[in-house]
A and B are shown apart, each in its own frame.
Chain A
Amino acid sequence: MKKKSILERVAAVPHTVWMIMFIVAPMIFVLFFAFTDINGNFSFINITRLAQYSNVFLLSIGFALIATVICLLIGYPLAYFLAKTKPSTQKILVLLIMLPMWISLLIRTYSLMALLDNGGLLNSLLNQLGLADINIVGTTQGVILGMIYDFLPYMVLPIYTAITKIDPKCLEAASDLGCNNFKVMTKVIIPLSAPGIISGITMVFIPSISTFYISQKLGAGKFDLIGDTIERLFQNVGTYNVGAAISLVMMILITISVVVMNKFSGNDDDGGIIV
């Protein structure tokens, strides 16, 4: 048995110290601020105040759920078709799905808003065709559309990866044993791509529920989502405590949903893909 060298013994120490200082300590401060009043005395005042924000939570969860479901409905067929195209085209198409993930969300959201805005290209094209303007910016549909547009690639890529990993022999076996195409899809392909679906759902739901830029731009500031509320509350010192309480609730919500998701997918070795 090889003895561990001194270097190996101490190698993880700087990282552990860093983690305690900059991951664990900030979490403790969130807890601390959430359970104290503005003078630093222990109190439940922020937790009781959360009731005022129940609409914000419901609206955010609703928007994020709708966006996630639509992303899945649009994204799954796309991922499937991608996996079925011939290898040379496939490579380019996958690159095209990945490119938006590398472009800043700010830029993509901003460009979408510019296209859809009242004075934007879409409405001027509609006018030229003799059609009436459609107002998307500043509506519920606008915000949800923004979420779908921004996060669709994050749904497609993990599902695509999961589908390409399916052993073709399984599909052959299924059809040999009498499954029609529809049954192969529902009984083999979809269950085997479940880990991809789960990680896609997490990767769309989490940023959707916590966004504030999308609702600022495509909601024209008319919607108050969790992200907007946290962002606003952290702009002045007096409301840090309530902001911390809301952040804490969001953290708990997301931890629960991730744990539930991982239970569903049945594998806990890797939570998702790294882009």
Chain B
Amino acid sequence: MKIFSKIYMWIIFLILYAPIIVMIVFSFNDGGSLSSFTEFSFKWYEELFHDDAAFGALKNSLILALASSVLACIIGTFAAMGLNAMKSKYIKATISSVTNIPMMNPDIVTGVSMMLLFVAVAGIINIPVNLGFWTMLIAHTTFNLPYVILSVLPRFKQMDKSLVEAALDLGGTPTYAFFKVQLPEILPGIISGLMLGFTLSLDDFVISHFVSSPNFQTLPLYIYNQTAHNVKFSMYALCAIVVVVILCLLLLVNFMGSISNYRNRKKDLKHMGA
């Protein structure tokens, strides 16, 4: 049984990773063939690094991811605060289920509905439809919001309410209490919401596909357009770089996670000793 389970896992992981590994290996293939590896070269990487459009798309992706995740964090954190203080269960449930619609709906429906909104509004106020950065920012912020709220709201719920009351009793204004007492408590939730939103925005293709125009392309849109009709080897190089970057980030996050766990445990032990 043990051996069977090992073989089973090996086979699945092999199949899961084979295409990606083959792609990375063949991005170094000089011949421009997918079936035989002729000679090692950085040819496609050189081509990629001379590709201004790819760099432009990367820049757009980063700007959009940063802007949409920060905006979602600001709106979402306040929303979590309001939801936490809200007394009416009915309103609370309505707001959170509507917020979760983009999470539940297929991306294509979200994308299409947003596009219809932009087209229709432009039609109503009689201006030409201008899809681009702003429409993408709206779309990305919208699909980031539920993730931010989901990571911030539990922090508000866990927080000791008497801390804020104490701050107010001691003469702090509500704003002061928010920045000095609440914010530090919920900060980890905000940061994880920010990171989640950032990666979701970087990764999104389907929704962006409907609310963008050729004037403002992100990296996934660029890859889509470049691979639409024929195989382009510089895209292999680009994909290989993306995969390696993601792998490094994931390892880094995991590694940092285990370090902070280790530190916390050490702190706990110290407290226990004292």
Query: Which residues of A line the B interface, CB within 8 A?
Result: 2, 4-16, 18-19, 22-27, 29-30, 32-33, 74, 77-78, 81-82, 84-85, 93, 95-96, 98-100, 102-108, 110-112, 114-115, 117, 119-121, 123-124, 149, 152-153, 206-207, 209-210, 212-213, 217, 227, 230-231, 234, 237, 240, 243-244, 247, 250-251, 254-255, 258, 271, 274
Q: Given A26-B117, A99-B250, A119-B34, decide whether A6 and B174 contact each other with a Cβ distance below 8 A.
A: yes
Q: Given A15-B145, A30-B116, A124-B35, decide whether A114 and B250 contact each other with a Cβ distance below 8 A.
A: no
A258 nearest CB neighbor, chain B only: B104
Taking the nearest CB of chain A, how far is it from the CB of B57, in angstroms? 13
Report the interface size for chain B: residues with CB under 8 A from the other chain.
Answer: 85
* Residues of chain B lying within 8 A (CB to CB) of residue A106: 205, 220, 223-224, 227
* Residues of chain B lying within 8 A (CB to CB) of residue A117: 34
Would A22 and B119 count as touching, CB distance under 8 A? no
Would A30 and B112 count as touching, CB distance under 8 A? yes
Find B79's partner among A15, A244, A258 (CB 8 Å cutoff).
Answer: A15
Q: Given A82-B9, A110-B227, A258-B104, decide whether A103 and B246 contact each other with a Cβ distance below 8 A.
A: yes
Would B119 and A240 count as touching, CB distance under 8 A? yes
Give the docked Cα–Cα distance between A93 and B251 (Å).
13
Would A11 and B116 count as touching, CB distance under 8 A? no
* Residues of chain B lying within 8 A (CB to CB) of residue A32: 120
Would A103 and B243 count as touching, CB distance under 8 A? yes
B203 on the interface (CB 8 Å rule)? yes
Taking the nearest CB of chain A, how far is it from the CB of B15, in angstroms? 7
Would A120 and B34 count as touching, CB distance under 8 A? yes
Would A2 and B161 count as touching, CB distance under 8 A? yes
Q: Can you show 30 pairs from A to B with CB atoms below 8 A apart?
A: A4-B85, A7-B175, A8-B85, A11-B78, A11-B82, A12-B81, A12-B82, A12-B95, A15-B76, A15-B78, A22-B142, A23-B142, A26-B114, A26-B117, A29-B116, A30-B116, A93-B9, A95-B251, A96-B16, A99-B247, A100-B16, A102-B203, A102-B250, A106-B223, A107-B223, A115-B18, A120-B35, A231-B209, A254-B105, A274-B196
B191 on the interface (CB 8 Å rule)? no
B44 on the interface (CB 8 Å rule)? no
* Residues of chain A lying within 8 A (CB to CB) of residue B101: 23, 27
Find B113's partner among A26, A104, A108, A274 (CB 8 Å cutoff).
Answer: A26
Query: Which residues of B line the A interface, CB within 8 A?
Result: 5, 8-9, 12-13, 15-20, 22-23, 26, 33-36, 75-76, 78-79, 81-86, 95, 98-110, 112-117, 119-120, 138-139, 141-142, 145, 147, 149-151, 161, 165, 174-175, 178, 196, 199, 203, 205, 209-210, 220, 223-224, 227, 231, 235-236, 239, 242-243, 246-247, 250-251, 254
* Residues of chain A lying within 8 A (CB to CB) of residue B18: 115
Give the docked Cα–Cα distance between A203 and B40 (Å).
40
Give the docked Cα–Cα distance between A206 and B110 (Å).
13
Would B224 and A213 count as touching, CB distance under 8 A? yes
A205 nearest CB neighbor, chain B only: B106
Give the docked Cα–Cα distance between A260 and B38 (Å).
54
Q: Given A103-B246, A111-B20, A120-B35, decide whether A84 and B106 contact each other with a Cβ distance below 8 A.
A: no
Taking the nearest CB of chain A, how far is it from the CB of B173, in angstroms? 9
Would A250 and B104 count as touching, CB distance under 8 A? no
Give the docked Cα–Cα distance between A271 and B16 (Å).
26
Find A11's partner among B85, B106, B199, B220 (CB 8 Å cutoff).
Answer: B85
Would B112 and A10 count as touching, CB distance under 8 A? no
* Residues of chain B lying within 8 A (CB to CB) of residue A243: 112
Would A102 and B199 count as touching, CB distance under 8 A? yes
